[in-house]
Amino acid sequence: MLEFEGSKIYYFQKIDDNPIYGRGEPLRLLFDDTDMDFEYIRYKYDEWPAVKQKLILEGHRMPTLPFLITKEGKFYGTSVPLIRFICKKLNKYIPKLTEDEYLADAYSDLYNDWMSKWAEIWLNSDPKVKEHYETTYCDTQLDNWHNILGDRDGPYVFGDKISYTDFLLYQLLNHYNGAQIDTNKYPRFDKFVKIIQSRPSLKKHFENEKKEFSEL
């Protein structure tokens, strides 16, 4: 889509040396899956406060990462609303039934809740808190998402049609442990991850991901 083609997407430098950590990835999955060109620009942590201040002074109300600037210079912030906005313009990746559109919104909240919890734990140095997160919290989230995947016949969240929710779920699984699935416990994740990773439209995406890991 012309408006977003050639956009610049800004995110943090590799977090914990992991190129896919954080909230930038679902946007990359969306752009790659729909074959829209973009540039991914990473800020170092110490560069960000000044950039944020500048964005605020320029009048932007969502100065967090990721944000996007189109070729025409238009700023867009906050990842999930932006993904949804682009999908609406593309008329793609949004479930057709309004009830499902609501569910996609609700599942986005689940994604955001987990990402916020991860960020909170990442900043917390208490090993007990970390342990609780890695076992109890993550397990509960995984079980819930696995149940969600079971609500339709799959392989995607809303059945046989991919939606932006699938990019969010894939990112959660990839973020959690590199999408290494315990196939006995989570057979639906196994099928889901395989189908996402084998999408021809995402071939370049996963090649790039591999390259980014190999360059560490």
Ligand X SMILES: N[C@@H](CCC(=O)N[C@@H](CS)C(=O)NCC(=O)O)C(=O)O
Lay out the site mask for ligand X across 123-162 (x = CB under 6 A, - = otherwise). Answer: ----------------------------------------
The DSSP code sequence of 144-202 is HHHHHHHTSS-SBTTBTS--HHHHHHHHHHHHHHTT---TTT-HHHHHHHHHHHT-GGG
Q: Does the protein bind ligand X through residue 80 (CB under 6 A)?
A: yes
Identified binder of ligand X from the candidate list 10, 23, 76, 142, rule CB under 6 A: 23
Q: Given the complex with ligand X, which of 83 and 202 has the nearer CB atom?
A: 83
Identified binder of ligand X from the candidate list 8, 14, 42, 52, rule CB under 6 A: 52
Q: Does the protein bind ligand X through residue 198 (CB under 6 A)?
A: no
The number of residues making up the chain comes to 216
Distance CA 216, CA 133 (A): 26
- Burial of residue 209 (number of CB atoms within 10 Å: 0-12, 13-18, 19+): buried
Identified binder of ligand X from the candidate list 6, 39, 56, 64, rule CB under 6 A: 64
Q: Does the protein bind ligand X through residue 29 (CB under 6 A)?
A: no
Q: Does the protein bind ligand X through residue 78 (CB under 6 A)?
A: yes
Can you list the positions of beta strands (E) in 5-77?
Answer: 7-12, 38-43, 67-69, 75-77
Q: Name the residues that contact ligand X, by CB under 6 A.
A: 22-23, 52, 64-65, 78-80, 119
